[in-house]
Amino acid sequence: MIPQEVERIRQALAAAKVTVEVDPLLPPQAPLLVRCEAANDKLLLQLAQFPQIGGIHIAEGRLCTAKGYAALKNLPQLQKLAIEHAVLSPASLAAITQCSQLRSLSLIDAGLTDSSIVPLKALTRLEHLNLSQNPKITDAGLKTIAAMERLRSLHLAHCKITDKGLAQLQNLEGLRTLNVVQTAVTQEALERLADAHPNLRNIRR
């Protein structure tokens, strides 16, 4: 993407108080990462008009609803989505799963539960998942995560999980990074998982 086009998009979004940067890890057709301190449906609808956007980070998402998230499916190369400090309804999560190209999804402090994350299984390209600070996610929710066979990194800090739930992740053969800070998972359980997964080198507890 030429610098002039990047600058044009920056100017178009200037009133929204967002930052726009080129992320070399995003696809060349959509290399732009947009960071929003806060967002609402109006902003999401505006972002959806720029197919050059491949990543969105929302630091405060409490004002966003399913209407705004539904618009993001119009970004054909959206591969990264991060939403923090939100209350994601079932309709909002269903809308997010329409972003079928997502490879990285972060939903920190998003009011998630074991049942509400079930639709995320539809995101079959996911490689990086962060569900930290969702204390209503328990061992039962790890059954859903275990079905995401392409995961390479998984963050579950401050979730209500134990060794029993961790054992369900045995089939995630590509897992390389695991964060279970402030959970009831023991060192012994982590060692068992690491023994079964030679690529799992980065573990935080």
Q: What is the pLDDT of residues 19-74, one digit of tens each?
A: 999 999 999 999 999 999 999 999 999 999 999 999 999 999 999 999 999 999 99
pLDDT tens, 77-131?
999 999 999 999 999 999 999 999 999 999 999 999 999 999 999 999 999 999 9
Co-location of 7 and 96 in the same domain:
yes
Alpha carbon dihedral 133, 139, 144, 149, in 10-degree steps, equals 90
| Region for residue 129 given its phi and psi (left: phi exceeds 0; alpha: psi -120 to 50; beta: otherwise) | beta
In a domain, 26, yes or no: yes
In a domain, 172, yes or no: yes
pLDDT band at 2 (very low <50, low <70, confident <90, very high): low
- Tokens 């995101």 found at: 123
What are the tokens at 40?
């609402």
- At position 11, the amino acid (one-letter code) is Q
In a domain, 120, yes or no: no
Question: Could you give phi then psi for residue 53, rounded to 5 degrees?
Answer: -85, 125
Co-location of 7 and 92 in the same domain:
yes
In a domain, 118, yes or no: no
In a domain, 89, yes or no: yes
**List of residues 6+ apart from 114 with CB closer than 8 A:** 136, 137, 138, 140, 141, 144
Co-location of 145 and 94 in the same domain:
no
CA 5 remoteness from chain centre: 27
> Looking at 12-21, 44-53, 168-177, which range is the least confident one?
12-21
In a domain, 132, yes or no: yes
- Tokens 């994350």 found at: 117
Co-location of 84 and 9 in the same domain:
yes
What are the tokens at 41?
């449906």
Co-location of 87 and 148 in the same domain:
no
Co-location of 67 and 164 in the same domain:
no
For residues 166 and 141, the answer to whether their CB atoms sit within 8 Å is: no
- Determine the structural domain holding residue 28 and report its residue range: 1-102
Co-location of 132 and 96 in the same domain:
no
In a domain, 111, yes or no: no
Measured CA distances, 8 to 32, 55, 155, 200, 202 (Å): 12, 17, 36, 42, 40
Whole-number Å distance between alpha carbons of 75 and 101:
9
| Residue 4 reports pLDDT greater than 80 | no
* Last residue in a domain, options 102, 135, 169: 102
Question: Could you give phi then psi for residue 79, rounded to 5 degrees?
Answer: -110, -20
Count of domains observed in the chain: 2
Q: DSSP 3-state assignment of 136?
A: strand
pLDDT band at 17 (very low <50, low <70, confident <90, very high): confident
Write the burial class of residue 172 (CB in 10 Å: 0-12 exposed, 13-18 middle, 19+ buried).
Answer: buried
Q: E strands, 10-79, where?
A: 18-22, 32-36, 53-58
Mean pLDDT of 153-173: 97
For residues 107 and 81, the answer to whether their CB atoms sit within 8 Å is: no
Co-location of 96 and 159 in the same domain:
no
pLDDT band at 5 (very low <50, low <70, confident <90, very high): confident
In a domain, 153, yes or no: yes
